[in-house]
Amino acid sequence: MALNRAVVAAFLVAACSSNDVTTPPTDAGGEVDECKPGSRVTPYVRDKAAEATFPAGFLFGAASAGMQIEKGLTHADWYQWANVPGKVAAGDKPDNGPDAFAHIEDDVNALKAAGANAYRFSIEWSRIYPTRASFDSNTPDKAGLDAYHALLTALKAAGIRPMVTLHHFATPDYLDDITKPREPQTFERDEMAPMFGEWCKRMGKEFGAEVDDWITINEPLVLLVGAYLVGAHPPGPPLDIDRMFNAAKKLVKAHVAGYRALHEADTVDAGTGRAVAVSIAKHNRIFVPLDHCEERDVEAAKKTDYVWNQWMYNALVFGDWDDDLDGKLDGPNDKKADPALKGTVDYIGVNYYGVSTVDATLQLKFIGGVPAYDHLPTDLPKTDMSWDIYPHGLRQVLNQLKPYKLPVYITENGTGDSKDVNKSRYLAEHLWEVSGAIRDGVDVRGYYYWSLTDNFEWDRGFCPRFGLFQIDYASPAKTRKPTRAAALFKQIAEQKKITAATIDGLPAYAAPTPCPGPR
Ligand code: NOJ
């Protein structure tokens, strides 16, 4: 299939910013994959099971990322970016967030109160190596190392298994100079892959006795679409699709360098029965044709699904390198089962937030020369991010991962809900679908709710409240207060099941409180 880059670009932008779905669900809340004109949107319908269960040893975790919860990451590109007027809604600054380093005990107590047995967080490169000189001379910041060790010690004492991300959107400013967006930055730089490998090696050595579960890079395609197509992430405009794909290919090399470095450096079993398991946290979603009877829409949805959901994991699991992203391995630079790539993830990490409608006859608008997506209205309930809520898509996304034959962790799933009215239902319905996927034969080993606490939601600032625990940003102590969903999370984690009656007893989705973007 020939890849129309402009069309794919449009859908990638859509994948980052919208959650529209137009598929009528079956009885099981499933997608009808056939030509059936008429109803464009039908909300999720749960299957008829009486309960959803989870196997012994299943991880019920929560997730976070340093830039979103720590104070004082002054050498990160995002810190500089947030200081540029107009880049973050309401001019919010990460330093006014949950201040996690000052609240290690509170956060571990929160995890315990929610019954969590796992916690995903990031170790921030720019905290450990704030300057290029400190990186080149391998002079890590001692206070930074101590803080992460303190967190890991507290987690261990609480019996909570850590999963550590080594790049979660933020890059040290010496590798992303936002004043020079026309020059190669972040993963476009040739030096990035070897430096990232070195960074991973050092962290594997430093923390390997405390950590077995690693993620090299969080949401690689969201990061690059945000930076090079939408411009919502640094280094921002000029926006350019070729630049984005170029960065994506180099990012794969950086991941591979990180994967090998962690395997070399972390040789100690921290308590999981093996020394190391490495992957990425890949944002996957469902792409639904606007019109199942319209061949162009169906084809466009397939192409987008391929580029967004399959291209990267095909390379990392099978070693199938599709350099021209056309879905075939027949290009001059394509490779089948390339040993340099094959087997460079030990499990599948997947973040799930929803579905996108694919319309091959998009009414395009243009952002800096790149076609963007006109949102299509749907009747689905919405989050405060204005994303459609579609729990069954998680089961579909998980089923799509079967060919990889690897264990799967849902490394993120959650909703912004400032009034704490929808979070419980959102959580329960998504976990219901996870259990369904396990019944379908997907080897799902854990689920990390996004997020443990409210945090800095990138260009939307502090408005979206994803936390199982709400932060009182106005209080000097940045008080953590449990949401209703935290209690439900605990109940499900302890009982390893949810009943249909529990979900039926939850309030129906209420209208969201939408959070505006910066512009
Ligand atoms: C995925 C990202 O990894 C995380 O940083 C973000 O806060 C959530 N999505 C919610 O948008």
Give the per-residue pLDDT at 376.
62
Output the six-digit token pair for 279.
């992957």
pLDDT band (50, 70, 90) for residue 15: low
Output the six-digit token pair for 312.
């990267």
Dist. CA 497–CA 449, nearest whole Å: 16
Dist. CA 68–CA 79, nearest whole Å: 10
Give the per-residue pLDDT at 115.
98
Instruction: Read off the DSSP letter of residue 323.
Output: T
Nearest-atom index, ligand 1, CA of 458:
7
The rounded Å distance from CA 221 to ligand 1 centre is 12
Please check whether residue 66 is in contact with residue 168, taking contact to mean a CB–CB distance below 8 angstroms.
yes
pLDDT band (50, 70, 90) for residue 13: low
Q: Does 186 contact ligand 1 (Cβ within 6 A)?
A: no
Instruction: Show Cβ contacts of residue 440 under 8 Å, excluding neighbours closer than 6 positions.
Output: 395, 398, 399
Q: Does 219 contact ligand 1 (Cβ within 6 A)?
A: yes
Give the per-residue pLDDT at 230.
86
Find out whether the peptide bond into 238 is cis, omega within 30 degrees of 0: yes
Query: For the chain, first and last CA: distance in Å?
Result: 37
Q: Tell me the per-residue pLDDT of 360-415, one tens digit each, with 9 for 90 and over.
A: 776 445 444 444 454 566 778 999 999 989 999 999 999 999 999 999 999 999 99
Instruction: Show Cβ contacts of residue 137 under 8 Å, excluding neighbours closer than 6 positions.
Output: none
Dist. CA 227–CA 232, nearest whole Å: 6
pLDDT band (50, 70, 90) for residue 416: very high
Nearest to 119 by CA among 351, 372, 449: 449
The rounded Å distance from CA 36 to ligand 1 centre is 34
Nearest-atom index, ligand 1, CA of 353:
9
Q: Does 214 contact ligand 1 (Cβ within 6 A)?
A: no
The rounded Å distance from CA 396 to ligand 1 centre is 20
Q: Does 442 contact ligand 1 (Cβ within 6 A)?
A: no
Dist. CA 479–CA 453, nearest whole Å: 10
Dist. CA 217–CA 329, nearest whole Å: 25
pLDDT band (50, 70, 90) for residue 3: very low
3-class DSSP assignment, residue 222: helix
Mean pLDDT computed over every residue of the chain: 91
Question: What pTM value is reported for the model?
Answer: 0.94
Nearest-atom index, ligand 1, CA of 218:
3
Q: What's the count of helices (H) and strands (E) in the chain, helices before strands? A: 16, 14
What b/e readout covers 282-300, taking b as 16+ CB neighbours within 10 angstroms? bbbbbbbbbbbebeebbbb
The rounded Å distance from CA 19 to ligand 1 centre is 14
Q: Does 412 contact ligand 1 (Cβ within 6 A)?
A: yes
Q: Does 417 contact ligand 1 (Cβ within 6 A)?
A: no
Give the per-residue pLDDT at 33.
55
Instruction: Show Cβ contacts of residue 93 under 8 Å, excluding neighbours closer than 6 positions.
Output: 82, 83
The rounded Å distance from CA 15 to ligand 1 centre is 13
Please check whether residue 102 is in contact with residue 71, taking contact to mean a CB–CB distance below 8 angstroms.
yes
Please check whether residue 361 is in contact with residue 400, taking contact to mean a CB–CB distance below 8 angstroms.
no
Q: Does the CA dihedral 264-168-380-378 come out positive or negative?
A: negative
Q: Does 378 contact ligand 1 (Cβ within 6 A)?
A: no
Q: Does 351 contact ligand 1 (Cβ within 6 A)?
A: yes
Q: Tell me the per-residue pLDDT of 463-490, one tens digit each, with 9 for 90 and over.
A: 999 999 999 999 999 999 999 999 999 9
Nearest-atom index, ligand 1, CA of 466:
10
Dist. CA 363–CA 7, nearest whole Å: 11
Evaluate whether the domain defined by 6-20+41-504 bears CATH number 3.20.20.80. Answer: yes
The rounded Å distance from CA 452 to ligand 1 centre is 12
The rounded Å distance from CA 131 to ligand 1 centre is 26
Vertex 316 angle, CA 315 and 321, to 5°:
20
Dihedral, CA of residue 416, residue 101, residue 410 and residue 271, to nearest 10: -160
Residue 22 has pLDDT above 50, yes or no: no
Q: Does 435 contact ligand 1 (Cβ within 6 A)?
A: no
Radius of gyration for the chain, computed over Cα atoms and rounded to the nearest angstrom: 21
Report, as an integer, the average pLDDT of 33-48.
69
Please check whether residue 119 is in contact with residue 158, taking contact to mean a CB–CB distance below 8 angstroms.
no
Dist. CA 110–CA 480, nearest whole Å: 8
Beta-strand pair 408-412/444-450: parallel
Please check whether residue 172 is in contact with residue 129, taking contact to mean a CB–CB distance below 8 angstroms.
yes
Take atom 10 of ligand 1 and give the residue whose Cα is closest: 457
Please check whether residue 270 is in contact with residue 262, taking contact to mean a CB–CB distance below 8 angstroms.
no
Q: How many CB atoms lie within 10 A of CB 392?
A: 26
Dist. CA 33–CA 46, nearest whole Å: 18
Q: Which of 70, 458, 459 to mutate to test the pocket of ligand 1 (most atoms within 8 A of CB)?
A: 458
